[in-house]
A and B are shown apart, each in its own frame.
Chain A
Amino acid sequence: MAARTAGPVTATGVRRAFGDTVVLDGVDISIAAGEVVALLGGSGSGKSTLLRILAGLDGEATGDVSTTGATAVVFQEHRLLPWKRVAANVALGVRGPALRERVDAALEEVGLADRRDAWPAELSGGQAQRVAFARALVREPDLLLLDEPFGALDALTRLRMQTLFGRLRATHGFAALFVTHDVDEALLLADRVLVLDGGRIAEDRPVPLPRPRAVDMPGFGASRRSLLDLLNVPVG
């Protein structure tokens, strides 16, 4: 039984190997209620694997993972069921009274109230991803797990979605762990940044920037440089 003061997710000693390749080698991670954490790392560093383990989608990992409260996941692709209209996709698996109102409210929040009866195939990539966010929101999650949620979007849509994410986070106060390979995105959205390297959390540091944040604010450049250093990316 995890202490009540613990956050929505705590994991210790998480290990996962694919064949002989050890991807995660004893990862400890803990997220406080309402905290937004960015998970950075090179490609193949096991970011997505870790997220899937926390989401309960990986049956072959070892270690302790305890989550409390509701968890919702947003993937890189929207993963809406093409044979269900938008509203039915958002409502998928949700039970309880006033479902229709809750679905409409969630769609309203992502600005797609008028598309509730559309088929997913009729949406643009950005719209579909917003529906995926609505599908997560309607579950009133304590923890939102996001796997490169903006990775498949074009640059402009991506900026809009980041703003939307910030707004939703401020309204609902959920904790979030998001996988990204975009240092700017991590610095804009996260309270804390984790760097995954060699199968372990190599770095765990808070983002020292006040909100609201912008890429041209003082201190952003310095934080960016030091993060890129950690990721072994030479800054010209």
Chain B
Amino acid sequence: MTTLLTRPPSLRVPPRRRPAARRWLRAVTPLALLAGWEGGVRGGLLDPDKLPAPSAVLETGWRLALEGTLGEYLLDSVQRAVLGLLIGGLLGLALGTLAGLVRLGDDLVDPTVQMARMLPHLGLVPLLIIWVGIGESLKVTLVALGAFFPIYLNTYSGIRNIDERLVEAARTCGLSSLERIWHVVVPGALPSLFLGVRLAFAAGWLSLVVGEQVNGQGGLGFMMMEAREFSQTDVVVLGLVAYALLGLVSDLLLRLGERRLLAWRHGLRAR
């Protein structure tokens, strides 16, 4: 204990705030913004036709949820997102693996994909409408395109950046090339792949928002476009909130999966 007294005061570490306290502190700004928004509308500073109060949006959400329409539209959107992510993601994974593992695949696939990446895929909407129409396939195709590139790029770089020395060590342990892929390449590329999936989710949601505003039936975008026609600003804002929540939930699920599958990295971070 005496050693503590002899320590020069400049070296003293300030006591860290407890995690719980810090979490509350992080909630302060968003809550204050919400309160300001609500107060602004009630106080007459903001026009409720332009921006309804959060409480009004919440009320509308509750009403539409009870009617069942909100759930229906939400399900439509989620289905499109999942289907598009699956198609684009699996394609990205397959091609990224091919290009990452096989030299011939690298030559045949990578330059083309790198070029195609430069096309802003949302700019393809007019062309896609001509190709696949304005129905479900347009939405799914857009999401798939958005998901494909981040997954492809991160699968590819994840495989390429694996420490060659580990592969070599696995070889001296008598692992066949298939076993090396399973024990070294797959887990080694996984952190990068997770990053790709996370970016794919973000790009996928964005593509969905754009795709659903083109036209069509069902989905949150449809709900919002319809509400705009009738100047139901509260429903428009509700749609935005629902999109944001979907993004948040998918990110949380992903983090959960990441924590499970990449448990070994926590040991690294603790150091």
Contact = CB atoms under 8 A, between A and B. Distances in A.
Interface of A: 55-57, 71-73, 75, 77, 79-85, 92-94, 118-122, 135, 139
Contacts of A84: 183, 187, 264
Interface string B159-199: 00000011011111111000100011001101000000000
A83 B172 CA distance: 18
Contact of A73 (B166, B172, B267): B172
A85 B266 CA distance: 13
B184 A81 contact: yes
- Most central of A83, A84, A92, A135 by chain B CB within 10 Å: A83
B173 A93 contact: yes
Given A83-B190, A120-B267, 9 more contacts: A57-B168, A79-B166, A81-B170, A84-B264, A93-B173, A118-B267, A121-B265, A121-B270, A122-B267
Contact of A83 (B165, B168, B173, B188): B188
A82 B171 contact: no
A75 B167 CA distance: 13
B228 to A, nearest CB: 50
Given A92-B173, A92-B175, A135-B173, A82 B268 contact: yes
Interface of B: 165-166, 168-175, 179, 183-184, 187-188, 190, 262-265, 267-268, 270-271
B168 A93 contact: no
Contacts of A122: 267, 270
A75 B169 contact: yes
Contacts of B268: 82, 119, 121
A14 to B, nearest CB: 18
A73 B171 CA distance: 10
B165 A119 contact: no
Contacts of B175: 92-93
- Most central of B165, B187, B262, B264 by chain A CB within 10 Å: B264
A36 B171 CA distance: 24
A55 B169 CA distance: 11
Contacts of B270: 121-122
B165 A75 contact: yes
B187 A55 contact: no
Contacts of B169: 73, 75, 79-81
B94 to A, nearest CB: 23
Contacts of A79: 165-166, 168-169
A70 to B, nearest CB: 9
Contacts of B184: 81
A225 B181 CA distance: 49
A55 B172 CA distance: 7
A121 B264 contact: yes
A82 B172 contact: no
A14 B249 CA distance: 61
Contacts of B271: 121
B267 to A, nearest CB: 4
A46 to B, nearest CB: 18
Given A79-B166, A121-B267, A121-B271, A93 B187 contact: no
A119 B264 contact: yes
B20 to A, nearest CB: 27
Given A119-B264, A121-B264, A122-B267, A93 B174 contact: yes
B129 to A, nearest CB: 45
Nearest to B173: A93
Contacts of B263: 119
A81 B267 contact: no
A219 to B, nearest CB: 36
A169 B64 CA distance: 76
